[in-house]
């Protein structure tokens, strides 16, 4: 297959490109980052790249048509909750307009067989810790959540009413090798622990319940959706492994023989206190997350140890 991955330089994008290439697909990535030091570099992935902004509809349309792509994985956008809270206009414009541009380019091209768009479990909003099912109404509140919910609904609209086989993946919290967003819990905790310092967890987040999904399992699910997903549908992608933020930071510290986590002082933007996904829809296809959290944390911690020892920051 000829495949386009937007946001190819990011954490999930780089891991997806790596797997697609290993499976023999012809991959082109789109990225805004011309400076390097991306997850592609960190993982040693050499993929054809096109540089541009997904807010530029002409750029997106040129990629879809010039490479005559069969599958499109749309992962580009503002992906950090804190960044979206600080600049809600940027998050809204990038995540919504970028998605519209990708979907419209694919619809107009006529040759795209599947479009899988990255949504998020955060699009559901706060349901008091009840497991999310795909038929629940989306009721987001923060800038990140609202922008992802809008992109989610627009994608399903194109799939249901505009003749495009487009669908969304609502993933749990991703972790694994190659994530260079040091503000995220696991990369930041690994970096501090490798330096002999205790991971820092913000007090408001310490007891947040999150479902943790290894990036390899997410990649498996995305490729499965490109092959089998139905137009206009949403799919939860989770592991069933729900552990508090404080506990995960402790697992990182233990894996790297570092001091136990400490509570920070900085005030964080509001986040949903408890999240979990009902995975029934995907498990009907015999898809299951294969990486156990403790094993995944230990392997991820070792990857960061090796990465930082090679002189990367």
CA–CA distance, 172 with 218 (Å, rounded to integer): 9
Classified as helix, coil or strand, 3 is strand
- The one catalytic residue in 124, 144, 208, 235 is 144
What's the sign of the alpha-carbon dihedral 194, 198, 202, 204? positive
Residues with Cβ within 8 Å of 22's Cβ and at least 6 positions away in sequence, in order, are none
| Alpha-carbon distances of 301 from 19, 46, 209, 254, 289, rounded to whole Å | 21, 24, 21, 10, 19
Q: Which residues pair with 170 in a beta bridge?
A: 236
55, with CB counted inside 10 A (0-12, 13-18, 19+), is middle
Annotated catalytic, 235? no
Q: How many residues does the chain have?
A: 313
The dihedral of CA 99, 102, 106, 109: what is its sign?
Answer: positive
135: tokens are 């038929």
Q: Would you name the residues annotated as active-site residues?
A: 144
């Amino acid at each position: 297959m000829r495949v386009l991955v937007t946001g190819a330089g990011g954490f999930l994008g780089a891991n997806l490109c790596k797997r697609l290439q290993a499976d023999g697909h012809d991959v082109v990535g789109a990225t805004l980052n011309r400076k390097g030091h991306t997850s592609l570099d960190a993982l040693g992935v050499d993929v054809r790249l096109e540089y541009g902004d997904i807010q530029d509809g002409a750029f997106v349309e040129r990629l879809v048509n010039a490479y005559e792509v069969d599958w499109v994985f749309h992962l580009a956008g503002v992906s950090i909750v804190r960044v979206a809270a600080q600049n809600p206009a940027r998050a809204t414009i990038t995540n919504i307009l970028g998605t519209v541009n990708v979907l419209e380019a694919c619809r107009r091209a006529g040759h795209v067989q599947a479009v899988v768009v990255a949504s998020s479990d955060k699009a559901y909003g706060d349901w008091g810790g009840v497991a999310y099912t795909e038929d629940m109404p989306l009721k987001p509140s923060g800038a990140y959540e609202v922008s992802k919910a809008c992109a989610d609904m627009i994608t399903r609209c194109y799939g249901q009413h505009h003749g495009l086989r487009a669908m969304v993946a609502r993933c749990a919290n991703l972790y694994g090798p190659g994530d260079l967003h040091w503000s995220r819990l696991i990369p930041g905790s690994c970096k501090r622990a490798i330096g002999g310092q205790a991971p820092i967890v913000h007090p408001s987040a310490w007891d947040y319940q999150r479902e943790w999904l290894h990036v390899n399992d997410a990649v498996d699910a995305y490729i499965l959706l490109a092959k089998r997903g139905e137009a206009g549908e949403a799919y939860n992608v989770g592991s069933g492994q729900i552990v508090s933020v404080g506990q995960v930071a402790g697992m990182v510290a233990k894996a790297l023989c570092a001091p136990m986590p400490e509570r920070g002082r900085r005030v964080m933007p509001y986040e949903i206190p408890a999240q979990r996904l009902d995975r029934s829809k995907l498990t009907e296809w015999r898809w299951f997350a294969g990486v156990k959290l403790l094993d995944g944390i230990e392997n991820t911690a070792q990857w960061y140890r090796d990465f930082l020892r090679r002189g990367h920051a």
